[in-house]
Amino acid sequence: MGLKTPLYQQHVDAGARIVDFGGWDMPLHYGSQLDEHHSVRKHAGMFDVSHMTIVDVHGGDATLFLQKLLANDVAKLSKRGKALYTCMLNPTGGVIDDLIVYFLTATEFRLVVNAATREKDLAWINEQAAAFDVTVTERENLAMLAVQGPAARELVAPLLPEDTRDAAMQMAPFFAVESADWFIARTGYTGEDGFEITLPAAAAAALWDGCVAAGILPSGLGARDTLRLEAGMNLYGNDMDDATSPLEAGLGWTIAWSPEDRDFIGRAELEKVRANDKRQQFVGLLLESKGVLRDHQRVVVEGKGDGEITSGGFSPTMQRSIAMARVPAGDYDQAQVEVRGRLLDVRIVKIPFVRNGDIRIEL
């Protein structure tokens, strides 16, 4: 038996198929992963993401510390509640984790990191923090519920604390509002509008039940994965890891190169990769025929060499198989993927595949 979130009983009661995910007993689906996927794209679904790790960084050096720790630059943030997506790199320029950092004040930040990387992340953050005037606190006894889809915000609004409701409905994407231990962010991992709501563990079941009553469909890790793949959002451990440069994982846009004298961890090695025009590129693939692309399948690019699918699967929205892949440098729009000994044609396409319910790729 693994770790259980404060919503475990809700999952069991809703008929979830429970699987192990990074040591946690989590819902894979509640009957049909496809129904859950479509519900998020067309209406509203919700995901228990309480297994994610929340770390508060407070102190006089908080800004300086995070400017060193993170490859994106928290100095871009000046409005309370503003969020920033970033990688945390190791000295060799590989990705320790990807995370969201929220700015509260110049001395108060919140990080949300992955569940499966919790221990190494905390060890690394604490080790780096020793040289700074900061306190690093893992927040416990909190739950997190992601409510996603075009109708999600309207449906969940009446269930939010009264003093946050108006602000939550009015805030722009990638902002958060707080009230006591509630933290409501307009973020997500599906490519749809919605909230990620952090709240006291003791209040989680009531929010869940309220969402069910409001018609928000419980959705599991399976739908979460197909939604994020369509949205072209990276999954740590699949699309990048400690040995992968963010520049070869489609995450170049998250690196803040200026100011040039900001010496974030991993910068020196990253500069070398940046200067190498033979570095691999990260692209989307669309399977031209029927079938399903899968993680780790070989991508064959004629005259260029081989690449690898980092995340592949079936797109319920497009009714075609799609993938994200690391492939050789160069300008080309066709490749092949080896599926059970056969080479199938794929088209190189721009990520994301789907955003806000709309297919972005010509089929």
Partner 1 sequence: MSELPGDLQFTKDHEWLRKEEDGSVTIGITDHAQSALGDLVYVELPEVGQDLETGGEMAVVESVKAASDVYAPVSGSILAVNEALGDDPEQINNDPYGDGWIVKLQPSGDDAETMGPDEYQALLDELDA
Q: How far is CA 35 from CA 11, 30, 103, 294, in A?
A: 16, 10, 36, 21
* Contact flag: residue 190 with partner 1 (CB under 8 A): no
3-class SS of residue 272 = helix
Residue in 79, 290, 302, 331 binding partner 1, rule: CB under 8 A = 290
Minimal distance, residue 5 CB to partner 1, in Å: 21
The DSSP-derived string for 10-40 is: HHHHTT-EEEEETTEEEEEESS-HHHHHHHH
Contact window for partner 1 (CB under 8 A) among 26-34, 110-118, 275-283, 343-351: 26-34
Of residues 228-267, which lie at the interface with partner 1 (CB under 8 A)?
none
* Contact flag: residue 34 with partner 1 (CB under 8 A): yes
Minimal distance, residue 36 CB to partner 1, in Å: 10
Minimal distance, residue 29 CB to partner 1, in Å: 6
Closest CA to 34 of 268, 223, 240, 238: 223
* Contact flag: residue 28 with partner 1 (CB under 8 A): yes
* Contact flag: residue 314 with partner 1 (CB under 8 A): yes
Contact window for partner 1 (CB under 8 A) among 41-49, 80-88, 260-268, 288-296: 288-296
Looking at the Cβ atoms of 189 and 264, the one nearer to partner 1 is 189
* Contact flag: residue 32 with partner 1 (CB under 8 A): yes
Q: How far is CA 222 from CA 36, 37, 239, in A?
A: 9, 9, 17
Residue 344 CA to residue 93 CA, distance in Å, equals: 34
Residue in 198, 313, 335, 353 binding partner 1, rule: CB under 8 A = 313
Contact window for partner 1 (CB under 8 A) among 25-33, 75-83, 117-125, 128-136: 25-33
Total residues at interface with partner 1 (CB under 8 A): 17
Closest CA to 197 of 159, 166, 247, 232: 159
Site string for partner 1, 320-339 (x = CB under 8 A): -x------------------
Residue in 11, 26, 27, 33 binding partner 1, rule: CB under 8 A = 33
Residue 9 CA to residue 28 CA, distance in Å, equals: 14
Report the relative pairing of strands 45-48 and 142-148 from DSSP bridges: antiparallel
Asked whether 203 and 163 are in contact (CB, 8 A), the reply is no
Residue in 22, 161, 291, 328 binding partner 1, rule: CB under 8 A = 291
Residue 213 CA to residue 164 CA, distance in Å, equals: 21
The residues facing 41 across adjacent strands are: none
Looking at the Cβ atoms of 251 and 361, the one nearer to partner 1 is 361
For residue 259, whether the previous peptide bond is cis, meaning omega lies within 30 degrees of 0, is yes
Residues lying near partner 1 in the complex (CB under 8 A) are found at: 17, 28-29, 32-34, 222, 226, 290-292, 294, 313-314, 316, 321, 340
